[in-house]
Amino acid sequence: MGVGFVISIAASGVAAMTELKRKQAAMLARAADMTTVLPMSVYSLLPQYCLHGMAEAFMSIGHLQFFYDEAPESMRSIANAFFWISIAAGSYLSSFLVSLIHQYTAWLPKNLNQGHLEYFYCLLTFLQVINFVIFCVSARWYKYKMFLGQEQTNNGNNTTK
Distance CA 5, CA 57 (A): 11
Q: What are the tens digits of pLDDT across the range 46-65?
A: 999 999 999 999 999 988 88
**Cβ burial 89-109 (10 Å sphere, 16+ → b, else e):** eeeeeeeeeeeebeeeeebbe
Report, as ranges of residue numbers, the positions in the chain whose pLDDT lies below 70: 32, 146-161
Q: What is the pTM of this model?
A: 0.80
Q: What is the pLDDT of residue 91?
A: 95
* pLDDT score, position 151: 58
Mind listing the pLDDT tens digit for each residue in 87-114? 999 999 999 999 999 999 999 888 888 8
Query: CA-CA distance, 9 to 55, in Å (whole number)?
Result: 9
Q: What is the pLDDT of residue 3?
A: 95
pLDDT at 160: 53
